[in-house]
Chain A
Amino acid sequence: MASINIDNVQKAFGKVIAVDHLNLDIKDGEFFTFLGPSGCGKTTTLRMIAGFYYPTKGVVRFGDKDMTRVPPEKRNTGMVFQNYALFPHMTVFENVAFGLRVRKVGSKELKAKVEEVLQKVRLEQYAERQVSQLSGGQQQRVALARALVIEPEILLLDEPLSNLDAKLRDEMRSEILRLQKDYKITTIYVTHDQAEALSMSDRIAVFNFGVCHQVGTPSEIYNEPANDFVAGFIGEINLLPVNISRMEDDYIFVEVQNGENDSELAVRNAPFNYNQENKGNLALSIRPESIKILEKEAEGKNIFKGVVEEVHFFGSLINVVVRVEGLKLQVNALNSGLSRNLQAGAEIWVELPEEQMRIIPVVTGDAS
Chain B
Amino acid sequence: MIKNRDTRLTLLLLIPVLLVLIAYVLYPSLRTIMESLQKDGSMTFGNYSDFFTQESKTNLEALWNSVYISVLSVLVSALIGIPLAFIFNRYDFPGRGFFASAAIMPIVLPSLVGVMAFMFLYGETGLIPNAIKDLFGLDEVPFKIGGISGILIVHAYTMYVYFYMTVSSAINKIDPSLEEAAYNLGANRFKVFWKVTFPLLTPAIVAASLLVFMISMASFSAPFLLAGGFRVLSLQIYFSKINGDMEVAATQSVILSIVSISFLLFMRWYQNRKDYRMASKGIGAHRSEVNNPVLKWTLVFTGIVGVIILLLPHFTILLLSLVPDGTWTWQTYPSVFNFENYRLLFQDPNIFKPLKNSLLLSVIATAGNLVFGVLASYVLVKRKFVGKSFVDILVMIPWALPATVIGMNLIFAFNEPTIFSFGNILVGTFWILPLAYFIRHIPLVVRSTNAVLEQLDDSIEEASRSLGAKWFYTFRKVILPIIMPGVLSGTLLAFVESVGEFPTSVLLYTLSNRPISIEIMNQLRMFNMGQAAAYGMIQIALIALVLFISNKFFGVKAEKSLS
Contact = CB atoms under 8 A, between A and B. Distances in A.
A99 interface: yes
Contact of A79 (B466, B477, B478, B481): B466
Contact of A102 (B4, B457, B468): B468
B465 interface: yes
A99 B467 contact: yes
A83 B459 contact: yes
B465 A73 contact: yes
Contacts of A52: 462, 465-466
A198 to B, nearest CB: 28
Given A54-B4, A87-B478, A89-B481, A150 B468 contact: yes
B478 A102 contact: no
B102 interface: no
B107 interface: no
A71 B465 contact: yes
Interface in B427-450: none
Interface residues of B, number: 20
B4 A69 contact: yes
A304 to B, nearest CB: 53
B97 to A, nearest CB: 27
Contacts of B482: 87-89
Given A83-B459, A85-B462, A87-B460, A73 B468 contact: yes
A98 interface: yes
B466 A78 contact: yes
Residue among A54, A88, A98 with most chain B CB within 10 A? A98
Interface in B455-474: 457, 459-460, 462-470, 473
Given A69-B4, A73-B470, A85 B459 contact: yes
B274 interface: no
A99 B482 CA distance: 18
Closest 8 CB pairs between A and B? A99-B467, A85-B459, A85-B463, A79-B466, A81-B459, A72-B465, A102-B469, A102-B468
Residue among A73, A75, A99 with most chain B CB within 10 A? A73
Secondary structure type dominating chain B contacts: helix
Contact of A98 (B459, B462, B467): B467
B525 interface: no
Interface in A75-94: 75-79, 81-83, 85-89
Contacts of A73: 465-470
Interface string B151-191: 00000000000000000000000000000000000000000
A51 interface: yes
B1 to A, nearest CB: 9
Contacts of A87: 460, 463-464, 478, 482
A99 B468 contact: yes
Interface string A30-52: 00000000000000000000111
Nearest to A77: B466
Contacts of B460: 85, 87-88
Given A88-B482, A89-B481, A79 B468 contact: no
B5 interface: yes
Interface of A: 50-52, 54, 69, 71-79, 81-83, 85-89, 98-99, 102-103, 146-147, 150, 156
A102 B473 contact: yes
A52 B466 CA distance: 9
B290 to A, nearest CB: 38
Interface in B8-63: none
A73 B27 CA distance: 40
A315 to B, nearest CB: 39
A75 B467 CA distance: 9
B464 A51 contact: no
A67 B443 CA distance: 41
Contacts of B466: 50-52, 72-73, 75, 77-79, 156
Contacts of B469: 73, 98-99, 102
Contacts of B470: 73
5 contacts: A79-B463, A85-B459, A86-B463, A102-B467, A150-B467
A72 B478 contact: no
B5 A79 contact: no
A81 B4 contact: no
B6 to A, nearest CB: 8
Contacts of B477: 98
Contacts of B463: 79, 81, 85-87, 146
B468 A83 contact: no
Contacts of B478: 87
A136 to B, nearest CB: 16
Nearest to A70: B5
Given A87-B482, A89-B481, A103 B459 contact: no
A54 B5 CA distance: 11
A147 to B, nearest CB: 8
A103 B4 contact: no
Contact of B462 (A72, A74, A89, A103): A72
B468 A76 contact: yes
A81 B468 contact: no
Contacts of A156: 466
A75 B468 CA distance: 8
